Structure 1
Amino acid sequence: MSEAESAAAAVPAAAAGRKPRRLRGHKKGAVTCCVASSARPGVVASAGEDGCLCWFDLRTKDVLLTIEAANKPISSICFKPGNEDFVYASAGNEILSFDVRMGPQSKPLETYNYNRDEINQIAVSSKGFLAAADDSGDVKIVSTIQKCLYKRLREAHTSICSTVQFIPWRPWTAITGGLDSKLAVWDFSKGRTLFSIDNGSPELQNGSSSGSAGQCLNPAFVHSLAVSEEGILGGLYKVCAVARGDGAVDVVDLEYELAPSKSKGPPRLATSTMSSKRTEPGDGSSNQCQVERIHLDFTMGGHTAAVSCVSLFQAAMIHQ
C-alpha cells in the first residue's frame, strides 16, 4: 500500500455520501501510521515503510511536505502537545524529533536510543515525557526536557508491548497493551502498575461472546488504545477504548477502575459483566472483583477479524 487513507477525512466524507479521499505522497511500501492534527483542523501526518514523513492538508490536492526522516521503516509518529510544529517518529529502536518549519531538508533535532528492541508505538505527554513501547515488552519513559531516560516500565507484559498512551487527566499515569492480551495502567513516576487486566484469562474468556464462531482461534491481543481527552458524554465518563485481536472492542471506565474499592458505587458502564484481576492503587495487593464495562463484538454487528486501530472522537467512538 503506497497511499495514506485518512480516517479523519473518511468520516465527514461518508456522512456526506462521498467517497473517502486518497492522499498520495509516499514513495513505496505500506503506510504504517497516520495521525490528525488537533491544532490545525484538516492537517494529517503520515509515516511509512519508505522512511518518510508526509503532511497533507485536506483542502488541497497534493502533499504539503515530505521529510526523508530515516533509512528504515517508521513505525509510529506523534505531535508534540501544545506545539505541533514538532513531531516525534520511531524507526527501529530509535526515536527522532523534527521541526516541520525547517521544511523537506529538516534534520533530526534529537535522537533517543534507550529501547533495546524495535519500537511499536510512541506517545508524548503535555509534561514533556515520551513513552516508547517495544518488542521486549518494556516501555521506556524519556524526559524530553532533561533529555535523558526517566523510567523503565517492565514486568507487566510477557510478550510484545504493542501500544502505549498517556492518561491526560492523570499527569503521572500511562496505559499499555500487549500481545500477551494484557492491559496495564502505570504510575510511571514510581515505575509500578496500578492495575492490570488479562483479556486472555479463563474468567474473561468465559464471560465474553467473542470466543464463539469465527473468533475461537484469534487471541485477545491488545493492538491499539485510545484514551478520551476531556471525557465523553459531557465529561461524565473518562474512558479508554481497546482494540483487540479477537475482533472485539472494549471500553473501560478508567476512573472507576482506578478508584479505591471502598469508594466504588454501582459500575457506570454496564453492558456485559466481566471478572478482572486488578491491583489497588497504593496497597500492592491483588484481588478478584466483578467489573462491568462495554464489550463490543461481532454479535453486535462488529468485526469478525482482529481490530487493528481504535479512535475516540469527542462524544462518539469509531473503530476500523
Structure 2
Amino acid sequence: MLDLWRMAKLWREGHSTAILCVCTSPPGPEGLVASASECGEVAVWSQDGCVVGRLHLPGKDDCTSVAFSPTPPGLLYVSHGNTVSTLDPRNLKSTVDDFVGVGEEEINALALSESGSTLALADDSGAVRILELPGGKVCRTLRKHTNICSSVAFRPHRPNNLLSAGLDMQVMLWGLQKSRPLWAVNLQDAAEEEDDNDDEQHHQQLFNPPLAHCVSAASCGNVVACAAEDGRVRLMRVGGGSKLERQGALQAHSRGASQAHFVPFLSHPYWLATGGDDGRVALWDVGKHPVVVAPKTEGRKGRKGKKRKGEAAPEQDEADVEATDKNGAKVNIRHGEKVNWLCPALLKGTVSLLVADQSSTLTVYPLDDA
C-alpha cells in the first residue's frame, strides 16, 4: 500500500466549517477550484491553494454541491437547501442569481451538460429536475426514485442521456427526450447474486445495504461507476442504443464507498478514483476489468479463425466479471478521515486528487508523485 499522506498539501483558510463538496473549472492556466461547506460557506481557490474569494450565502443552509459552467463566462452554481445560486467566481461579493425553490426538497447534487445550457439537480424527494440556463426555468421533472436521489451526471457526448443514483439502491440512465429511464439497475439484487456463494460478504451486505451515493461516467461515455454503502463500486458498460451491456463490481472499501469519479487527465479514460467512510482514497485502473473490456468473440469461425461477419459476440457471465477482479487499486492513500467529497484536478500540470473530509481543510494529493 502506497502512503501518500507525506506528499499531501493542505489548503487552509477557506472555511470555518466542514467542507462538503468540491469542483474545478475547465483545465487551463487560469483554472480555479471551488469548495463549499456547512452553513453556506463558499470559497474559490487558485491552483496553488490561495483563496481568491469567500462568500456566506444567505440563509446559511449547508452547501451540498458545486459545479462550474464548462463554457464562458465560467459561472459557478451552488446548491443549498432547495435553492441553486449562481456566482461569479472572480467576484464573490454577492450572488448573481438565485433559483429559489427549484428543488422540491433539499438538493443533494448538481450536474451541468457539456454545452452548459442545462443543469440537472437531485433532491431528497427522489425527483430529478432539469433546468434551462440561463434563467433557471424547470423544464422537466423526472420521477422514478422511491427514496432520496443522491447523485446525477450527464453522460459525455450524449446530451440527452442523464444518470441518476439514489438511496433506493437504483442507478438509472434517463432518456431526456421522453423523460423516462432507458434502464435501471437495482444494486441490492446485483449484490445478492454476487454474494450467493460468499456467506461473509452476504452477512456484511445485510448490515450495509448498497445505497447508491455517487455516480460518474468516463469521458468516453460508455462506462459508468457508482459508489455504494456496501463498500462496492459498481461498474456498468453502456453499448449501442444506450443499452446496458455488462455490469460488475469492485470491492473497493471496507466501509461505505461515498465517492467514485473517473479521472480524465491520465493515460486512458478508465482511471477511477474512489473514497469511503473507511478513510481510504484509492485509484483504480479499470481499463482491463471485464466490464470495460470488450468480450472475446467466440462461436462459429470462418477462415483464419476469425469470427464471421455479422455474428454477435456472446454475453459474458456476470459471476466471471466479479471473480476476475484481482488486481486491486494502483494507488492507496491512508487519508484517515471519512471522505465527504473527492475531485480529480489538473493543478499547474499535475494530476491531483482534492479530498474534503470532516474538517475545514482541503487535502491535495499529487498523483504524479505516486
Shorter-chain TM band: 0.7 to 0.9
Aligned residue in 2 for 1:239: 223
Deviations 1:4-45 (A, max 9, x none): xxxxxxx9x93xx84311211344321110113333367321
Match of 1:222 among 212, 217, 232: 212
The 1-side partners of 2:71 and 2:209 are apart by 37
Number of equivalenced pairs: 263
Deviations 1:162-195 (A, max 9, x none): 0011112111110100001000111122211100
Letter in 2 for 1:46: S
In the alignment, is residue 318 of structure 1 matched against residue 267 of structure 2? Answer: no
The 2-side partners of 1:158 and 1:257 are apart by 26
Q: Percent identity?
A: 27
Aligned residue in 1 for 2:193: 206
Aligned residue in 2 for 1:57: 46
The 2-side partners of 1:211 and 1:256 are apart by 33
Match of 1:258 among 242, 250, 261: 242
Aligned residue in 1 for 2:65: 76
CA RMSD in angstroms comes to: 2.4
Any gaps of 5 or more consecutive residues in structure 1? 1-10, 232-237, 260-277, 279-290
The 1-side partners of 2:254 and 2:186 are apart by 21
Q: CA deviation at 1:206?
A: 2.3
Aligned residue in 1 for 2:356: none
Contact 2:238 2:246 in 1 (8 A): no
The 1-side partners of 2:86 and 2:272 are apart by 30
Instruction: Map 1:297-308 onto structure 2 (within 5 A).
Output: 297=251, 302-308=252-258
The 2-side partners of 1:26 and 1:44 are apart by 11
Contact 1:151 1:189 in 2 (8 A): no
Contact 1:69 1:108 in 2 (8 A): no
1:221/1:311 CA distance change after superposition, 3 Å: same
Task: Considering Cα pairs closer than 8 Å and 6+ residues apart, tell me whether 1 or 2 has the greater RCO.
Answer: 2
| 1:34 match: secondary structure | strand
Contact 1:35 1:46 in 2 (8 A): yes
| 2:239 match: secondary structure | helix
Q: CA deviation at 1:144?
A: 1.2
Contact 2:99 2:136 in 1 (8 A): no
Q: Which protein shows a greater Rg?
A: 2
Any gaps of 5 or more consecutive residues in structure 2? 276-370
The 2-side partners of 1:27 and 1:221 are apart by 29
1:305/1:84 CA distance change after superposition, 3 Å: farther
Letter in 1 for 2:180: R
Q: CA deviation at 1:106?
A: 3.0
In the alignment, is residue 183 of structure 1 matched against residue 183 of structure 2? Answer: no
Aligned residue in 1 for 2:232: 248
Letter in 1 for 2:232: A
The 1-side partners of 2:95 and 2:85 are apart by 9
Q: Give the TM-score normalised by the residue count of structure 1.
A: 0.75
Match of 1:150 among 106, 116, 139: 139
Q: Give the TM-score normalised by the residue count of structure 2.
A: 0.65
Match of 1:172 among 146, 155, 160: 160
The 2-side partners of 1:133 and 1:56 are apart by 26
Aligned residue in 1 for 2:76: 87
The 1-side partners of 2:26 and 2:234 are apart by 24
Contact 1:183 1:197 in 2 (8 A): yes
